[in-house]
Chains A and B, each alone.
Chain A
Amino acid sequence: MPSAYSIDSILGKAERKLSAIPDDVEIMRNSPSVIMCPQTSGCMSVQSPSKDSNDRSPGASRNGENYFDSSPEKSENEEKHEHSHEDLNTSLSDGENEESGNAGNKPRKLRRSRTTFTTFQLHQLERAFEKTQYPDVFTREELALRLDLSEARVQVWFQNRRAKWRKREKTLGRESPSFMQREGGLGLPDMPPSHLGYQSPLEAYWSNRMTNLPGLNPLLSMPHGSAMLGNMAQYFNKVSSAGLFPNYFQSTAPGSSFPGIPHMYMRTGLSDISAIAQAQAAAALSSQLVGRFQVSEPEQGLDFRRHLTKIQQVTLDQEVAQRPGGGAKTSRLRGSCDVFFSNEIGHRIEASTIKHTNMPPKGVPAKAKPAPVKPKAVRPKAKDGDDMTDVDGADHDDWVNTKALVKPDDQLELTEQELKEEFTRILTANNPHAPQNIVRYSFKERQYKQTSSVDQLAIHFALDGNMIHKESDEAQRQRTKLGIPDAHVEPAVSEVGEPVSAAADSEDRGDEAKEEAGDDAGTQAASGSEGGGNKKLTNQFNYSERASQTYNNPYRERGTATEPPPRAVFSGNVTQWEIFDAYQEDFEKQEKNKEKKVIPGRKEEEKARKRLTVTETSGDDVSRIAKAAKIVERMVNQNSYDDIAQDFKYWEDPSDEYRDNEGTLLPLWRFSFEKAKKLAVTSLCWNPKYTDLFAASFGSYDFMKQGNGMMLFYSLKNPSFPETIYETDSGVMCLDVHPEHPYMVAVGFYDGSVGVYNIEKKDGHLHRCTAKNGKHTDPVWQVRWQKDDLENNHNFFSISSDGRIVHWTILKNELTYQDVIKLAMPDSAAEGPDGTKITTIGCGTAFDFHKKNDYLFVVGTEEGKIHTCSKAYSSQFLDSMDAHNMAVYKVRWNPYHPDIYITCSADWTVKIWERGNKSASDKSDAMDASAKKPLFTFDLNNSVGDVAWAPYSSTVFAAVTADGKLFCYDLSVNKYEPLCEQMVAQKKKTKLTHLEFNPEHPIVIVGDERGTVTSCKLSPNLRKQPKEKKGAQAVDPSVREQAEIAKLDKILLMVRDPTENKG
């Protein structure tokens, strides 16, 4: 804020102008009193200071001698400013200028001719005026440019126009001029109503000042409004003005009653804010002096009087109460108040209301006016050159005498005459020094022309600012002068009595106003700095910095690396020969491929065969079509072995009719399996249910050539390949198919173990005993199923060389065993007397159960003995005899006759025994066992491997011998010679090991030691049925059985009789 034009200073000045505080008359005298000529607005009258104080008013216009006739001599001293106010000149040129000019002592030096506006110009200006009454400097300049006028002319025109308009407004009866709409934001919106028709002195002042400082119009640039001012008042209430401008010395004008304190002149409406401020301020009123003014202004505005009416401390209420009274007195009481705030030293705020009332026009101004119509002449009222407040004292007595007027003590008492004395001194804005005869060459008109408009600026009034910057040289000087070391640490100057001293100072040193101002400013600054400059010291002992810093999170790197794609290294060398070789190689390959493609035509057959074999052997793929394959296979076999099948079914040897006692065997299919070729057939067993199916076990009888074993199931329908194949780790020495469950097969192994197979299952293996659960210690020579026991558990017997006969029972999942009998040598006891009782154990090789009596069975041993045993007696034989000289290979009961059984042995013989004989032998106990004789004995000239009764006749049996022959006997036909003696084995040296009659068909299968099973068809002579019973064949089997038994008995009788006869 420029010091010279701060609002503060402006207001202060204004305040000083309008509300000189009546108390301090002396001070007031010092202050320049400005009286403005409101009507002409451009005209400013500055009341010259009184004689004794005129030289002390620094703010007074230095050109005062031009305008103040009353004090020309003083103005000379102050001629410092050379500025001239041309504007004022023009504004006064409306007629009164002459007068005012005449009124002045000095003749006017230059005078500008009156401007004549053209119609067009006027029109334009009027239009502009319609838009705005207060055009800003730019608008004016633009207007001036357009109308070919100087900006100053335009401005003046506007001023005049406004005045004219205002006047007309008034004559139209309006109470207040409305041109200053609040929204205008121009000038001083709240003109005191008393100024009707006149421009505010301030406005005039500023409008004048403005020309002095183009572009800078503090008032114009400042937003106005009473409320605003009220706010400011409030604000200034709170904040000491010194605090507001801490950087400035503030010096009040010398006339101020409170030097060092800016006075604020606030003009407010009756806004609430200001009212409150007033109320507050009033309530806080101290005993300080408060000027309460009632300023009456003449209607014509010729004079501007101030009457000190009373000095009084008032509260707002009082004020309000008083107002009606005052209003009653005055012709027009305006509601607007001027609030005068003064910031006291003690930070008190004084609020005083200044009532502006329009006083009825007094005679004095009227008289003083030379031209009554236009109140342009300004006459200073101060009669004695004293303060203007004194001047109107008498006038005011009239209307305020009801109230107790308090006059300053030193108020001049003026006589009536003195009061009436007129000082006609006209204040004009013409700069007397401005040359009026300037001639310039106009290029436009090509001639010298007198410039009509010379920018004359006459400064009527100038006031330097109260404040100087601390940093400025002046302030520095003042400070040093005052002995203040530094602005910041300035000690507080005792402020009580400051105003007095300041006042005294101002009185004493009159002419050095600036210095005084500086002094005041200095003190002010001191107080200000004291008020607001104290820096709070931090507590050094318990001090914490308020500011805090948030914790910075540590940065963290986070990243993931994907696995790079796998890489590989490759290297090579490229040379021409390598390329060539590569091509060569590839070419050869291609050639080979071509060959292969050609050849397949020839090799197709082979491949087809291979495929066949492949399909045959490959497991899983074929298993899906196993059934179909089997059917196809059988069909193929049926075709290929069709002749055999035909023979099997229909061939009856026709030669049999011509030879009664001879029969033949027709070899049919030969069953041979590749893997079993090196094994001997150890046992054969027809399947009780499927008469075309038989099982053959393979092992080795040679002690030195033991190896794996095999179990094959053949069907007559497919002689080329076994139906089922089971390979075992040990040689299979015997097997037996369960008579009622044809899928159950009991197996005895060479290693002494027994097992059970289920041929329905793929694996087949169900149980196998181990050393832990009763395994034989020598080869198992025979196993035989028994009827299910009482608990329906399958069970079978086995016989082994270790002399044990074991009863095996299948309990759910396990095989349990029970020793039935141990084949102790019966004659061991006889050897006992030597003292060495060694129980030798017989080696069982064969056994057979009685067809009718389950408990009864016969056992043949390696020693050639035959024991008749019962399950009931485990330690004792029912009977025992030396049947053969060598090992008994087979024992079989006659299927029909209950007491007849047949044995065969390695001693080349086959013997038929009768159990009933026993009793006879019992009778001759003394006779040795050898005395027991068989019913029949047949010598076959070789070791007899097996012997079997024919299922269809009680008198027919067959035997195989080691020289490959099969002997077939029919006792009913020939008791001594076989009906048939035929080589069955392909080679003579091939031993036949076993044979088995088919229970239904007239065939017999014969196994040899080379793994081959041969089937032979018995010729009709070998299977003769009793002729006499031909017709009764359909009779039930029991009858037939009886017949068979009778037939055998009849033969036996012939045999027995001689023996019995012998006996």
Chain B
Amino acid sequence: MAEVVPEEKKEAPESKARIHTYPLIRHSDMNDEMKTEAMELCVTACEKFASNNENAARMIKETMDKKFGASWHAVVGEGFGFELTHEMKNLLYMFFGGNMAICVWKCS
């Protein structure tokens, strides 16, 4: 134990300095399959349009429309507030890349 603890302590400050880039699902009520797919899509879109959030959102929205039926909405940005009404089991709120927030929901 004595050996392990210092190691961990060393790791911790490093990790704090590190920028987290992995997708982090903050809130979602989707089923797992859908969630995974939506998350993948968001990552793809954000990576593809790294400098253009609007295009990323458009891509997410259109792809989701195709895959899961109409009326998806997507918000991609670094800072925003929202209060939305969504159909149950159709909401994904995630962070990505350390500074991006993506909110995807369905409401037709």
Contact = CB atoms under 8 A, between A and B. Distances in A.
B26 to A, nearest CB: 6
Interface residues on B, range: 20 to 34
B86 A576 contact: no
A582 B102 CA distance: 14
A133 to B, nearest CB: 80
A572 B29 contact: no
Nearest to A574: B101
Contact of B12 (A572, A579, A580, A591): A591
A566 B83 contact: no
A586 B83 CA distance: 24
A587 B15 contact: yes
A579 B88 contact: no
A569 B27 CA distance: 13
A571 B15 contact: no
B13 to A, nearest CB: 12
Contacts of B29: 568
A565 interface: yes
Interface in B1-25: 4, 8, 11-12, 15-16, 20, 24
B3 to A, nearest CB: 12
B87 A566 contact: yes
A568 B85 contact: yes
A875 interface: no
A576 B79 contact: yes
Among A580, A582, A583, the one with the most B-chain Cβ atoms within 10 Å of its Cβ is A583
A584 interface: yes
Contacts of B27: 570, 572
B11 A591 contact: yes
A583 B95 contact: yes
A568 B91 contact: yes
A807 B87 CA distance: 74
Contact of A570 (B77, B86, B98): B86
A933 B87 CA distance: 97
Contacts of A570: 27, 82-86, 91, 93, 105
Contacts of B8: 591, 595
Contacts of A566: 87-88
Contacts of B100: 579
Contact of B101 (A568, A571, A579): A579
A569 B85 contact: yes
A271 B8 CA distance: 129
B107 interface: yes
Nearest to A580: B98
B98 A572 contact: no
B54 interface: no
B47 interface: no
B79 A574 contact: yes
Interface in B65-103: 77-88, 91, 93, 95, 98-101, 103
Given A574-B79, A575-B79, A591-B8, A582 B26 contact: yes
A595 B78 CA distance: 32
Given A566-B88, A574-B80, A583 B20 contact: yes
A571 B99 contact: no
Given A568-B88, A568-B91, A591 B15 contact: yes
Interface string A659-691: 000000000000000000000000000000000
Interface residues of A, number: 22
A584 B87 contact: no
A1015 B85 CA distance: 75
B24 A583 contact: yes
Interface in A561-608: 565-576, 579-580, 582-584, 586-587, 591, 595, 598
A527 B15 CA distance: 123
A576 B15 CA distance: 17
Interface in B29-49: 29
Nearest to B81: A573
A567 B12 CA distance: 41
B81 A583 contact: no
A569 B83 contact: yes
A569 B88 contact: no
B85 A583 contact: no
Contacts of A567: 85-88, 107
Contacts of A582: 24, 26, 95
A587 B93 contact: no
Given A568-B86, A568-B88, A579 B99 contact: yes
Contact of B4 (A572, A579, A583, A598): A598
B86 A571 contact: no
A913 B74 CA distance: 101
A303 B24 CA distance: 126
B22 to A, nearest CB: 9
A512 to B, nearest CB: 92
Given A567-B87, A583-B24, A574 B81 contact: yes
Interface in A469-520: none
A572 B77 CA distance: 13
Contacts of A580: 98
Contact of B16 (A568, A572, A573, A584): A584
B11 A579 contact: no
A568 B85 CA distance: 6
Contacts of B26: 572, 582
B87 A572 contact: no
Contacts of A576: 78-79, 99
A695 B26 CA distance: 61
A582 B94 CA distance: 10
A733 B67 CA distance: 75
A572 B84 CA distance: 9
A80 B85 CA distance: 101
A665 B12 CA distance: 67
Interface string A999-1030: 00000000000000000000000000000000
B82 A572 contact: yes
Contacts of B84: 569-571
A855 to B, nearest CB: 77
Contacts of B85: 567-570
Contacts of A572: 26-27, 81-82, 93, 103
Nearest to B87: A565
A565 B79 contact: no
Contacts of B107: 567
Interface in A182-204: none
A441 to B, nearest CB: 85
Given A565-B88, A583-B95, A591-B11, A571 B83 contact: yes
B43 to A, nearest CB: 15
A576 B79 CA distance: 7
A1058 B80 CA distance: 114
Contacts of A595: 8
Contacts of A571: 81-84
Contacts of B105: 570
B68 to A, nearest CB: 13
B1 to A, nearest CB: 9
A583 B20 CA distance: 7
A572 B83 CA distance: 6
Nearest to B80: A574
Nearest to A573: B81
A582 B27 CA distance: 11
Nearest to B77: A574
A595 B12 CA distance: 13
A583 B98 contact: yes
Given A569-B83, A574-B78, 17 more contacts: A565-B88, A567-B86, A568-B29, A570-B84, A570-B85, A571-B83, A572-B81, A572-B93, A573-B81, A574-B82, A574-B103, A579-B95, A579-B100, A582-B26, A584-B16, A591-B15, A595-B8
Interface of B: 4, 8, 11-12, 15-16, 20, 24, 26-27, 29, 77-88, 91, 93, 95, 98-101, 103, 105, 107
11 contacts: A565-B88, A568-B85, A569-B84, A569-B85, A570-B27, A570-B84, A571-B83, A572-B81, A572-B82, A583-B20, A591-B8
Nearest 6 interchain pairs by C-beta: A571-B83, A574-B101, A583-B20, A566-B88, A573-B81, A565-B87
